[in-house]
A and B are shown apart, each in its own frame.
Chain A
Amino acid sequence: DVKVTQSSRYLVKRTGEKVFLECVQDMDHENMFWYRQDPGLGLRLIYFSYDVKMKEKGDIPEGYSVSREKKERFSLILESASTNQTSMYLCASSRRTAGLGQETQYFGPGTRLLVL
């Protein structure tokens, strides 16, 4: 079974704090993703990584950065948390595509972040 774990299920932070969200997958997947989920908006892609030290912006990267130093770990960083970053954050991973279209993404349990 694919296992994607996230460091925290719930997190409360203050405005201006630096926040780290960690994600680890155990399936040796090349691709990893960070999404945020807001009511009525579905999931929106923040950043993704297709290899160690590689990263690409998604649809809403502003206010976020990422780090991928090891294949199994992908971190999302909020440099200076703001109240509009209160959300559910979901990490996902997938195998590298074999030229047959996107492989299935497998998701972690999510982190509910509240910024006060």
Chain B
Amino acid sequence: AQKVTQAQTEISVVEKEDVTLDCVYETRDTTYYLFWYKQPPSGELVFLIRRNSFDEQNEISGRYSWNFQKSTSSFNFTITASQVVDSAVYFCALSEDDYKLSFGAGTTVTVRA
């Protein structure tokens, strides 16, 4: 069974629009970690955020923000005022142990000028 679901396969927006990427996860553990990565066309995954299950505070980093809600098992990611450079594939991932990451299928974001 898929542990991380990213229901949106592709999202296309015009520059300066906000875009929210959904991530729903499934786990029975009380301690776990959630991650978001960005994969630009160059191919390398770029780490964006790591969040543990005990920290439900929302986080903002520049134009990026994350909304973690344990009650709905979601860890959504919003890009505010999107730019063309935000065009990439974005992956949400879940870690339930010290080594393995379970990735979602990814959401392709296209920002048009």
Contacts and interface: CB of A to CB of B under 8 A. Distances in A.
Interface string B49-64: 0101000000000000
A58 interface: yes
Given A42-B106, A109-B43, A102 B97 contact: yes
Q: How large is the interface on A (under 10, 10 to 19, 20 to 34, 35 or more residues)?
A: 20 to 34
Contacts of B93: 43
Contacts of B100: 45, 48, 58-59, 102
A45 B101 contact: yes
Contacts of A33: 99
A41 interface: yes
Contacts of A56: 99
A105 B37 CA distance: 10
Interface string B30-45: 0111010100001111
Nearest to A111: B43
Given A101-B31, A102-B97, A102-B98, A42 B91 contact: yes
B43 A88 contact: yes
Interface in B6-56: 9, 31-33, 35, 37, 42-47, 50, 52
Contacts, number: 61
A74 interface: no
Contacts of B101: 43, 45, 102, 105
A104 interface: yes
B91 A43 contact: yes
Given A101-B33, A101-B95, A107 B103 contact: no
Given A88-B43, A90-B45, A101-B52, A42 B95 contact: no
Contact of A43 (B33, B46, B103): B103
Interface string A72-116: 000000000000000010101000010001101111111010000
A31 interface: yes
